[in-house]
Structure 1
């Protein structure tokens, strides 16, 4: 079995511990934490399981990497600490480890990543013999392999649209929701995640991946942003009140332009309450869903709902994104060291998982 480390125990890390524990080819051998209050706690408890796994969390990175684990699931945030995340990941790669992670947006499309990000990773691979695969937690499969797979069912394809429709009140990251995204802030507040070029920086790589998979050339990548204010003050279970007149919904698109038209589109429609912007696209369940729409002949629409952690749909999105990453580990271990993207990694069926569940 492949000795596997989970680095980080937040929204993604909790799901990663569960995914590694369930995978028949992997063995959870360590959990790395930053918060000293988590050190010493059993991984099962940190992952929200009702049983212990016999693996105590630690903050001793050197000790964990010195054991030469086969793989690391790097689940620590890269949103506001991209340099630190890059340093952590290259450190693990230099130890000869396969790393999978959602934390470095620019490496979704690793071939076109900026040199200041790509070159340190390639140097670490050459030095230590590890590998890296980065896929989005929004989730990546909804913006690369799923739309490409569904597009193959069509006779003609005019537009590929990938949607995330999401209720941010279910997302357990209050600072990101209020300050990165701007929910509950005055309408003249400029959220960092919505500043010009930032959506393209985050999701442009997935647009380029799809274009590459479809064999088309992009003229350019554009973005649009629309914001709506709450008409009334609303109260949420997890993050308290959001006042009337403050930002309550955001809709943006990152568009791949082909022959002058937006033909490959990633669209996010996010609300802090379902009452805001009711004319925008809505999911089958108010909490959220991911949707792929193929405009063409025939028109094809696929909506995916995932639930985890007591029917929480935001956790379900994290869990499926993690599932894609964790399922790639044994393939990466069996292949040459390198920097991989979603078009390199085959879809992995749940081999062994169904039988294990039945036991």
Structure 2
């Protein structure tokens, strides 16, 4: 019997998972939730960029989808907006008997928000007999999982550095580029979305604390800072013109020492721009680079470069949508559908067998 799937949201990541669901012979698409009114009533095949119809029409009626019979929900809303709104959707879906694999969250270390919040997740899962899992290329694959996995080759670990470096210039998503990333705005109008309790700030805190948990380290306060890149010239990108002196990128950094120490034990950077030749932007061979460095005995470094294709002659290499990063994020969620179906009820995070463990944790 085919696994019955609901796709929740159809943005850059969601439309890619939607296409994968439709094309998979062992999955049956039974519902699609959309945020924007112009998508309501459209066939899922059209929203996925396919030439054929599926007979499944998109809706913005959450209650209609919650009432559907489905095995799993692929939850891919935009990475912004109040956490409380996505919590309400996810908790109701879990209570209704549907497993949820989400590209967002934060659902990694929920007790950081409060013990009561963590209990709400467990109660919703217990009521529905369901499982909740956060997934994605970054954070799930890179920060808490790959960061811990790389320590398996070290007998001692002194410091872990992680970074995501993005060239967002091909991205046509106006809302993401302007409202979320602040591109094209004057510096004084830039909002760093690093407020306590906000979606991105909370997510980063949980990524780092899950990595720390995976290696038996207790972190002190996580401190954040950022710097802006201002365009050095006028130029055009798919969303419009970026004028000289306007925001063309930013570098966010979070650092945390081990509890009771002052020297940073973990540093995570998120660096992005739409002006690839900006003098302060690190050079990139492709569109996106993910970096993990472990300083220890021995030290190690791995980089993951993402693009639509590694073949310089491939026609899709220069495609603007979907970019390699969206494919990677979508695949990391889509490939976890069987994982969340097979996991025990409750909150699930990917185990990291053999990761280095802090001596104090042994």
**TM-score, length of structure 2 as denominator length:** 0.83
Distance 1:82 1:111, change over 3 A: closer
**What stretches of structure 2 of length at least 5 have no aligned partner?**
310-315, 354-362
Residue 328 of structure 1 is matched in structure 2 by 336
Residue 276 of structure 2 is matched in structure 1 by 274
Residue 29 of structure 2 is matched in structure 1 by 28
Residue 145 of structure 1 is matched in structure 2 by 145
**RMSD of aligned Cα (Å):** 2.8
Distance in 2 between the 1:131 and 1:75 partners?
A: 16
Residue 177 of structure 1 is matched in structure 2 by 177
Out of 319, 324, 346, which is 1:316 matched to? 324
Residue 103 of structure 2 is matched in structure 1 by 102
- Which range moved further: 153-162 or 202-211? 153-162
Residue 261 of structure 1 is matched in structure 2 by 263
**Aligned-residue offset at 1:194:** 4.4
SS in 1 for 2:209: helix
Residue 161 of structure 1 is matched in structure 2 by 161
Residue 12 of structure 1 is matched in structure 2 by 13
* Alpha-carbon displacement from aligned partner over 1:136-157 (angstroms, at most 9, x marks no partner): 5644311121122222123443
* Alpha-carbon displacement from aligned partner over 1:169-225 (angstroms, at most 9, x marks no partner): 233432332233322222223414245785542301111011111111212212221
Residue 360 of structure 2 is matched in structure 1 by none
SS in 2 for 1:305: strand
SS in 1 for 2:277: coil
Partners of 1:139 and 1:321 within 8 A in 2: no
Distance 1:59 1:247, change over 3 A: closer
Partners of 1:137 and 1:321 within 8 A in 2: yes
Distance in 2 between the 1:116 and 1:173 partners?
A: 36
When the two structures are aligned, how many residues end up with a matched partner? 342
Partners of 2:171 and 2:321 within 8 A in 1: no
Distance 1:149 1:51, change over 3 A: farther
Partners of 1:108 and 1:135 within 8 A in 2: no
Distance in 1 between the 2:157 and 2:352 partners?
A: 23
**TM-score, length of structure 1 as denominator length:** 0.84
Partners of 2:40 and 2:60 within 8 A in 1: yes
1:73-152 alignment, distance < 5 Å:
73-105=74-106, 107-115=107-115, 117-136=117-136, 138-152=138-152
Distance 1:214 1:150, change over 3 A: same
Distance in 1 between the 2:12 and 2:120 partners?
A: 27
